[in-house]
């Protein structure tokens, strides 16, 4: 496929965006036709079978790989953990620039798929039958991996959002658990007035995908991007919907009713479980994350509830995170790689491992809708069936989201603008306008045709 000069220009822009998070050396395990040279973390069960190299960072993934290799006689997975998130993406970027060193199959979060499709570094899996699988996955997750008839990855896990809360704190201070954002703000004030010394929750300025989800719940659609027209992008970050949501959180910040700790720091993790926050706005993987934190309040009584709504008569479900398996353009065995991408997580046995050992939330409907999964009781939440009562509706209601082909840069711009808003007192409209202007300028400089 011939690449136009203009497409090469915008592809270079995407490469810069990935590189901005710090290139590191590839640690090996790459495929790109060199599977025989790869070093596998796992045991190969069928040495004479073809091997497909896979990069992935799922917890407890080796047991899933073993399950695949024990049930396939003609294909074997050779797995390497090349790092989590940005660490893996930077190694993939290095391999793309070098023209060699990428694996056959790579785990990618759905939000970075446009960043790599614009580089022509992923295989369209529709020619290997992926399109026939659409009905096996939730509508939103399928929307996130497809573009028209093209399918750039197979969904694996997701992050439909809900609200985890300390039932003991709400009960102690006599405050009702909120179901709308208006009630949430009232509950924040009521907790404070009743003597609660913590905050109802945290609004992290580095909350990237979390903050995107909160905006999206109010109808925010910041990017219009079609992989079939890679040099064009629409940018409408500073919409009235976003300004309404950000003004809401700015008001809670100004009244000191929510904290502004950066997410995923040591202090943030401690505050999640020591009673500083009454609510953790979380994805479906949040319960697993919460239970993995140390120094938790032994008397805490956690429960789960649906995410508060702006309009309870018209609830909107949103998603935070989620991953996929894509086949890289460097693979010399794309059909075999597509089979691995499709079949690693397409059995009950594989998904029981994913749920029980890695706390993954399945996008594969046969597991998502199974009696076993929906009926699971969560001891950490007092035996509550949190899948059935909270996250299943959120997963099925999520309709998908369009990210930009320079998502890392977009996140960086948002983080800086929200930090300035919180620390220097700028208003929501100014913060969003700064992001809008910065992204339009950046995209234009890199050769995109930008519409606003």
Q: Is residue 14 part of a domain?
A: no
Cα 193 to Cα 174, 257, 277, 447: the distances in Å are 11, 11, 15, 53
The pLDDT-based confidence of 32 (bands split at 50, 70, 90) is very low
Domain harbouring 177, CATH code:
3.40.190.10
Domain that holds residue 291: 161-318+405-450
Do 288 and 344 lie in a common domain? Answer: no
In a domain, 23, yes or no: no
Question: Does 172 share its domain with 266?
Answer: yes
Residues 243 and 152 in one domain: no
Phi, psi at residue 20, to the nearest 5°?
-60, -20
Q: Are residues 193 and 288 in the same domain?
A: yes
Residues 149 and 169 in one domain: no
Q: Where are the beta strands (DSSP E) in 222-318?
A: 223-224, 232-235, 279-283, 302-306
Residue 28's pLDDT is 32
Query: Which tens digit of pLDDT belongs to each residue from 248-273?
Result: 999 999 999 999 999 999 999 999 99
Are 119 and 348 a contacting pair, CB within 8 Å?
no
Total tally of structural domains belonging to the chain: 2
pLDDT tens, residue by residue, 360-406 = 999 999 999 999 999 999 999 999 999 999 999 999 999 999 999 99
Q: Which of 312, 305, 310, 270 is nearest to 166 (CA)?
A: 305
Say if residue 207 is in the same domain as residue 69.
Answer: no
Provide the pLDDT for residue 37: 54
CA distance 398 to 395: 6
Confidence class for position 294, pLDDT limits 50, 70, 90: confident
What is the per-residue pLDDT for 36? 42
CA angle 212, 213, 215 (to 5 degrees): 65
Task: Identify whether residues 200 and 136 lie together within a single domain.
Answer: no
Q: What are the pLDDT digits (tens) for 91-125?
A: 999 999 999 999 999 999 999 999 999 999 999 99
Same domain for 187 and 287: yes
- Decide if 258 is inside a domain: yes
Same-domain status, 207 and 305: yes
Do 203 and 293 share a domain, yes or no?
yes
325 and 281: one domain?
no
**Between β-strands 150-151 and 146-147, what pairing exists: parallel, antiparallel or unpaired?**
antiparallel
Say if 216 falls within a structural domain: yes
């Amino acid at each position: 496929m011939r690449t136009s000069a203009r497409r090469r220009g915008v592809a270079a822009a995407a490469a810069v965006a990935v590189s901005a998070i710090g290139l590191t050396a590839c640690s090996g395990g790459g495929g790109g036709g060199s599977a025989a040279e790869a070093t596998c973390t796992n045991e190969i069960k069928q040495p004479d079978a073809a091997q497909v190299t896979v990069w992935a960072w799922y917890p407890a993934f080796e047991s899933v790989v073993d399950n695949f290799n024990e049930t396939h006689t003609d294909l074997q997975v050779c797995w390497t953990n090349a790092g989590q998130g940005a660490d893996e993406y930077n190694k993939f970027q290095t391999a793309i620039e070098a023209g060699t060193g990428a694996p056959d199959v790579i785990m990618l979060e759905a939000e970075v798929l446009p960043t790599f499709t614009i580089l022509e570094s992923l295989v369209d899996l529709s020619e290997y039958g992926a399109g026939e699988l659409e009905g096996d996955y939730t509508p939103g997750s399928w929307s996130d991996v497809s573009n028209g008839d093209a399918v750039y990855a197979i969904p694996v896990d997701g992050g439909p959002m809900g609200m985890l809360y300390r039932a003991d704190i709400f009960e102690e201070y006599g405050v009702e658990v909120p179901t709308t954002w208006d009630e949430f703000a009232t509950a924040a004030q009521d907790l404070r007035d009743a003597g609660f010394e913590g905050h109802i929750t945290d609004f992290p300025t580095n909350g990237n995908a979390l903050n995107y989800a909160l905006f999206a719940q109010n109808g925010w659609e910041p990017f219009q991007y079609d992989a079939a027209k890679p040099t064009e992008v629409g940018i409408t970050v500073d919409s009235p919907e976003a300004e309404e949501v950000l003004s809401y959180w700015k008001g809670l910040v100004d009244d000191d009713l929510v904290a502004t700790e950066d997410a995923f720091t040591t202090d943030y993790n401690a505050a999640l479980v020591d009673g500083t926050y009454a609510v953790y706005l979380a994805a479906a993987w949040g319960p697993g994350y919460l239970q993995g934190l140390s120094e938790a309040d032994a008397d805490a009584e956690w429960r789960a509830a649906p995410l508060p709504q702006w309009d309870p008569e018209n609830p909107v479900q949103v998603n935070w995170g989620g991953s996929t398996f894509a086949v890289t353009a460097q693979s010399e065995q794309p059909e075999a790689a597509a089979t691995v991408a499709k079949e690693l997580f397409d059995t009950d046995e594989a998904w029981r491992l994913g749920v029980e050992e890695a706390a993954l939330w399945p996008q594969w409907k046969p597991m998502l809708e199974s009696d076993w999964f929906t009926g699971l009781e969560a001891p950490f939440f007092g035996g509550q069936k949190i899948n059935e009562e909270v996250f299943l509706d959120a997963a099925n209601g999520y309709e998908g989201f369009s990210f930009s082909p320079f998502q890392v840069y977009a996140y960086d711009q948002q983080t800086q603008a929200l930090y300035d808003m919180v620390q220097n007192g700028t208003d929501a409209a100014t913060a969003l306008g700064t992001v809008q202007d910065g992204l339009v300028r950046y995209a234009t400089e890199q050769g995109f045709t930008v519409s606003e």
